[in-house]
């Protein structure tokens, strides 16, 4: 147990500093303290007595003078001092009075184990609102209700009743746990212990009446005792706090390894029946995380793998992988995995290949570099080859496959010495060894800071994730400054209004005009060039093609005249109540690739821009990409490149490449429009966007903007 004198809280004045009394208390009251160490009010005391809480522990129980050997107080009022935090283990009905008493006493934080609040709905929901209001009244930060609690093993503090702690307390280390599920927090703790990973601080947020997952993450990343945070999330309830936490993590260069569940329809159903809260749109969430140093783990095994690797605090920028191996087979496995993840494994430079061949004629010197099991008979080669790999190949990450051979007693000490010399000479490289050994055999490698994996495929995944974190830390945080808002017209916008609004953001429509007489239409068509498109112009007819209100390929003056009459007739017939402004005539752009751009407003995180190719790509293949607004052209270009159909924009099938720069500009400007339009903008659909060949631009052929009323909080 490390003494608390070495552990410091985050800087005061910070938005997360108010959690310090909760997570690093110097004095703790247990309300509803029990003499039975297996009961919910007894467990925290038993755990703290076993682990030696480094502060003042004050049981409160009206019926006892002593609890588990400690002097007990009859009430909150009777306590000799205001505690930094209070553990509340009384029935739900007594929580409100308890909080009042704690507030009056000057208590700064509390956690409520008790259940029977919002998770049961109805009256529980109302009761929760009352206790949260009471806590706010006293400026007391509240964790829960219905929380499994917190612990901080660095000071022996256990504000938790998790039965898993009976099986073992957390190991020393620098990984923090933040979780919306108490049971899953215990699961993560158990897995971490089983693989020797230290997770000294945990916060489980329960019903999140006050303190949210974002608060917990934010405090942890600012703690000098924590390097890496693992987090489990079902739904984010407070977007500002969550984003502030991710920004704090980025500034502190501490990664968040996040398991966000409810990705699938079935998962969302399970989440709904579990917490009665919606998991939200997973694509939106993924797009949000892309701005920060967060990697998402899809399983608890992956979560632990990544957290373990991250404890080395080496996050390669522009990552690349070089490998040395005693097994050609392992080299193929690693190559497959690297390519599938998009982790580059460029070949060694030619002269270096020649040098390696001279040293060991039957080696395979490209990358993976296969020095075969022969290296086990001549271990100096291990050091030589690995040095050449780093110095000549320049790889940011190194993977060495030694499997069981690396822990055979006749081999291990010399091998460790060889590899350690290389590692110390290149401390900035992420150095991973694929090794099979027991804890004792592995420890000397761990002590030198090597990352160890039995499975080379998992090693590649971890290396790739560290590179993604490195790139994320290297990117500046997105700046979302307030900009002059745009006033949106009220109600439904006509196509012309929508296009005019977008034109102010340089989002050009195709040359077009609304005309109210057929001869003017013929004249305009002659001016822009044949063929033309004709559409009924009415803000009241949203789905024009449903009533036959769109004519394509109109190719002659007679056809324009005929079309004019047809469209007005159809409007009269199928939408007699609609106010018709006339007929819109536009040049029919040919040879364009049809794309889709849009804005979708997320209730939590605001506007997101969507991009995809048009038609089947959007409708059948759901081949779209999202990004939180606003963003610049470089980000827009990255979005455009990321869709599966992108080759069609870059010249597949013998077509000329389209004007991707113009597309990117349009998308970036659209994101700016959405940002400035604010919550009054419900959605934008520009469909199709016509992308013309390079240098010829991109045009919005149709645009729909929907607005909504914004209810301001009183």
CB of 695 to its own copies, least distance (A): 23
For position 376 contacting its own copies by CB under 8 A, the verdict is yes
CB of 18 to its own copies, least distance (A): 27
For position 93 contacting its own copies by CB under 8 A, the verdict is no
CB of 435 to its own copies, least distance (A): 9
CB of 117 to its own copies, least distance (A): 12
Query: What's the CA gap between 19 and 217, in Å, rounded?
Result: 11
Total residues binding its own copies (CB under 8 A): 88
For position 198 contacting its own copies by CB under 8 A, the verdict is no
Q: What are the residues whose beta carbons fall under 8 Å from the beta carbon of 542, sequence distance 6 or more?
A: 492, 704
For position 479 contacting its own copies by CB under 8 A, the verdict is no
CB of 299 to its own copies, least distance (A): 3
Query: What's the CA gap between 664 and 638, in Å, rounded?
Result: 9
For position 332 contacting its own copies by CB under 8 A, the verdict is yes
| Phi, psi of 487, deg, nearest 5 | -85, 120
For position 63 contacting its own copies by CB under 8 A, the verdict is no
Shorter beta-carbon distance to its own copies: residue 41 or 697: 41
Q: What are the residues whose beta carbons fall under 8 Å from the beta carbon of 671, sequence distance 6 or more?
A: 599, 607, 609, 627, 629, 630, 631, 636
For position 283 contacting its own copies by CB under 8 A, the verdict is no
Shorter beta-carbon distance to its own copies: residue 543 or 711: 543
CB of 359 to its own copies, least distance (A): 17
* Burial group, residue 5, by CB count within 10 angstroms (0-12, 13-18, 19+): exposed
The answer to whether 113 and 119 have CB atoms below 8 angstroms apart is no
> Which span (100-108, 188-196, 422-430, 631-639) binds its own copies, by CB under 8 A?
188-196
Task: Count CB-CB contacts under 10 A for residue 580.
Answer: 18
Shorter beta-carbon distance to its own copies: residue 222 or 235: 235
Judged by CB under 8 A, the chain residues 401 through 440 that form the site for its own copies are 403-405, 407-411, 436, 438
Q: Which two tokens stand for residue 520?
A: 């003017």
Query: What's the CA gap between 198 and 206, in Å, rounded?
Result: 23
Shorter beta-carbon distance to its own copies: residue 163 or 527: 163
Residue by residue, what is the 3-state secondary structure of 200-212?
CEEEECCCCCCCC
The answer to whether 25 and 157 have CB atoms below 8 angstroms apart is yes
The answer to whether 560 and 532 have CB atoms below 8 angstroms apart is yes
Shorter beta-carbon distance to its own copies: residue 162 or 586: 162
Shorter beta-carbon distance to its own copies: residue 190 or 693: 190
First to last CA, the chain: 50
CB of 414 to its own copies, least distance (A): 14
Pick from 17, 191, 578, 682 the residue near its own copies by CB under 8 A. 191
Nearest to 151 by CA among 95, 216, 103: 216
Pick from 35, 114, 180, 222 the residue near its own copies by CB under 8 A. 180
Give the SS3 label for residue 61: coil
Pick from 77, 340, 447, 569 the residue near its own copies by CB under 8 A. 340
Shorter beta-carbon distance to its own copies: residue 353 or 420: 353
Residue 323 Rama label (left phi>0; alpha psi -120 to 50; beta):
beta
Per-residue burial over 681-703, b if 16 or more Cβ lie within 10 Å, else e, is: bbbbbbbbbbbbeeebbbbbbbb
Q: Tell me how far the alpha carbon of residue 369 is from its chain's centroid.
A: 35
Judged by CB under 8 A, the chain residues 668 through 707 that form the site for its own copies are none
> Which span (320-328, 523-531, 584-592, 667-675) binds its own copies, by CB under 8 A?
320-328
The answer to whether 213 and 233 have CB atoms below 8 angstroms apart is yes
Pick from 44, 156, 262, 697 the residue near its own copies by CB under 8 A. 262
Give the SS3 label for residue 487: coil
For position 446 contacting its own copies by CB under 8 A, the verdict is no
Query: What's the CA gap between 350 and 361, in Å, rounded?
Result: 15
What is the H or E stretch that residue 648 is in? none
Pick from 275, 320, 420, 588 the residue near its own copies by CB under 8 A. 275
Shorter beta-carbon distance to its own copies: residue 388 or 499: 388
> Which span (17-25, 361-369, 495-503, 685-693) binds its own copies, by CB under 8 A?
361-369
CB of 246 to its own copies, least distance (A): 21
Shorter beta-carbon distance to its own copies: residue 652 or 708: 652
The answer to whether 566 and 597 have CB atoms below 8 angstroms apart is no
Binding mask 24-53 for its own copies (x = CB under 8 A): --------------x---------------
Supply the DSSP symbol for 24: S
Query: What's the CA gap between 645 and 623, in Å, rounded?
Result: 7
* Mutual angle of helices 182-194 and 300-310, in 10-degree steps: 60
Task: Count CB-CB contacts under 10 A for residue 492.
Answer: 14
> Which span (3-11, 209-217, 271-279, 473-481) binds its own copies, by CB under 8 A?
271-279
For position 528 contacting its own copies by CB under 8 A, the verdict is no
Kindly report the length of the chain: 714
Shorter beta-carbon distance to its own copies: residue 106 or 651: 651
For position 181 contacting its own copies by CB under 8 A, the verdict is yes
Shorter beta-carbon distance to its own copies: residue 189 or 510: 189
For position 508 contacting its own copies by CB under 8 A, the verdict is no
Supply the DSSP symbol for 407: G
Q: Which two tokens stand for residue 14?
A: 């910070």
CB of 185 to its own copies, least distance (A): 9
CB of 282 to its own copies, least distance (A): 9
Q: What are the residues whose beta carbons fall under 8 Å from the beta carbon of 641, sequence distance 6 or more?
A: none
CB of 209 to its own copies, least distance (A): 18
CB of 593 to its own copies, least distance (A): 11
Shorter beta-carbon distance to its own copies: residue 455 or 558: 455
> Which span (95-103, 364-372, 468-476, 633-641) binds its own copies, by CB under 8 A?
364-372
Shorter beta-carbon distance to its own copies: residue 135 or 381: 381
Query: What's the CA gap between 521 and 538, in Å, rounded?
Result: 16
Pick from 457, 566, 661, 707 the residue near its own copies by CB under 8 A. 457
What is the H or E stretch that residue 57 is in? strand 56-60
Nearest to 664 by CA among 645, 691, 683: 691
Sign of the dihedral through C-alpha 417, 419, 425, 430: negative
CB of 273 to its own copies, least distance (A): 5
Nearest to 128 by CA among 140, 139, 141, 112: 112
Judged by CB under 8 A, the chain residues 638 through 657 that form the site for its own copies are 644-645, 647-648, 652-653
CB of 70 to its own copies, least distance (A): 24
Binding mask 160-179 for its own copies (x = CB under 8 A): ---xx-xx-----------x
For position 265 contacting its own copies by CB under 8 A, the verdict is yes
CB of 506 to its own copies, least distance (A): 30
What Cα–Cα distance (Å) separates residue 418 from each residue in 135, 143, 380, 402? 59, 50, 7, 13
Shorter beta-carbon distance to its own copies: residue 407 or 671: 407
Q: Which residues pair with 201 in a beta bridge?
A: 152, 176
Pick from 2, 283, 364, 387 the residue near its own copies by CB under 8 A. 364
């Amino acid at each position: 147990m490390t003494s608390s004198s070495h552990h410091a809280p985050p800087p005061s004045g910070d938005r997360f500093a108010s959690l310090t009394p909760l997570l690093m208390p110097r004095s703790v009251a247990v309300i509803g303290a029990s003499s039975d160490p297996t009961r919910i009010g007894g467990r925290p005391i038993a755990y703290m007595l076993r682990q030696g809480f480094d502060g003042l522990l004050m049981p409160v129980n009206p019926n006892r003078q002593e609890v588990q050997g400690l002097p007990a107080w009859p009430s909150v009022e009777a306590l000799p001092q205001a505690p930094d935090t209070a553990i509340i283990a009384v029935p739900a009905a007594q929580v409100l009075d308890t909080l009042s008493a704690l507030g009056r006493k000057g208590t700064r934080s509390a956690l409520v184990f008790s259940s029977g609040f919002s998770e049961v709905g109805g009256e529980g929901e109302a009761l929760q609102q009352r206790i949260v209001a009471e806590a706010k009244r006293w400026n007391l930060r509240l964790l829960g209700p219905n929380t499994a609690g917190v612990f901080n093993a660095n000071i022996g503090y256990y504000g938790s009743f998790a039965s898993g702690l009976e099986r073992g307390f957390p190991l020393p280390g620098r990984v923090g746990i933040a979780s919306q599920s108490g049971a899953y927090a215990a699961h993560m703790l158990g897995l971490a212990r089983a693989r020797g990973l230290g997770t000294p601080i945990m916060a489980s947020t329960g019903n999140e009446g006050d303190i949210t997952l974002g608060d917990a993450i934010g405090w942890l990343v600012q703690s000098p005792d924590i390097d890496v945070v693992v987090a489990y999330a079902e739904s984010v309830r407070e977007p500002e706090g969550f984003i502030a936490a991710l920004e704090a993590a980025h500034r502190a260069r501490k990664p968040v390894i996040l398991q966000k569940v409810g990705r699938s329809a079935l998962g969302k159903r399970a989440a709904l029946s579990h917490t009665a809260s919606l998991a939200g749109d997973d694509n939106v969430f993924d797009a949000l995380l892309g701005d920060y140093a967060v990697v998402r783990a899809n399983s608890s095994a992956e979560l632990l793998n990544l957290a373990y690797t991250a404890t080395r605090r080496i996050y390669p920028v522009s990552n690349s992988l070089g490998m040395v191996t005693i097994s050609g087979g392992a080299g193929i496995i690693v190559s497959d995995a690297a390519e599938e993840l998009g982790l580059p494994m460029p070949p060694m430079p030619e002269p270096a290949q020649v040098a390696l061949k001279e040293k060991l004629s039957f080696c395979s010197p490209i990358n993976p570099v296969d020095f075969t099991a022969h290296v086990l008979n001549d271990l100096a080669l291990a050091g030589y080859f690995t040095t050449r790999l780093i110095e000549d190949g320049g790889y940011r990450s190194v993977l060495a496959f030694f499997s069981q051979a690396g822990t055979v007693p006749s081999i291990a000490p010399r091998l460790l010495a060889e590899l350690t010399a290389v590692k110390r000479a290149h401390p900035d490289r992420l150095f991973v060894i694929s090794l099979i050994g027991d804890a004792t055999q592995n420890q000397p490698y761990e002590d030198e800071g090597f990352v160890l994996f039995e499975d080379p495929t998992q090693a590649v995944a971890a290396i790739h994730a560290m590179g993604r974190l490195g790139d994320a830390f290297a990117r500046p945080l997105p700046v979302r400054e307030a900009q002059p808002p745009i006033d949106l017209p009220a109600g439904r916008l006509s196509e012309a209004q929508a296009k005019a609004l977008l034109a102010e953001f340089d989002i050009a429509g195709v040359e077009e005009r609304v005309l109210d007489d057929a001869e003017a239409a013929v004249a305009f068509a002659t001016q822009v060039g044949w063929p033309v498109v004709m559409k009924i112009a009415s803000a009241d007819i949203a789905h024009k093609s449903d009533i036959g209100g769109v004519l394509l390929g109109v190719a002659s003056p007679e056809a324009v005249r005929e079309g004019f009459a047809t469209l007005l007739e159809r409007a009269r017939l199928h939408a007699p109540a609609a106010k018709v402004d006339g007929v819109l005539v536009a040049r029919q752009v040919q040879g364009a690739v049809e794309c889709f751009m849009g804005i979708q407003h997320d209730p939590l995180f605001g506007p997101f821009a969507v991009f995809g190719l048009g038609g089947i790509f959007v409708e059948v293949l759901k081949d779209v990409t999202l990004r939180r607004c606003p963003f610049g052209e470089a980000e827009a270009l990255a979005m455009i490149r990321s869709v599966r159909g992108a080759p069609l924009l870059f010249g597949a099938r013998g077509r000329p490449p389209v004007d991707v720069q113009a597309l990117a500009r349009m998308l970036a400007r659209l994101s700016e429009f959405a940002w400035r339009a604010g919550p009054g903008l419900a959605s934008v659909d520009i469909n199709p966007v016509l992308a013309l060949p390079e240098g010829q631009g991109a045009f919005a052929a149709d645009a729909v903007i929907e607005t909504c009323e914004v209810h301001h909080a009183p």
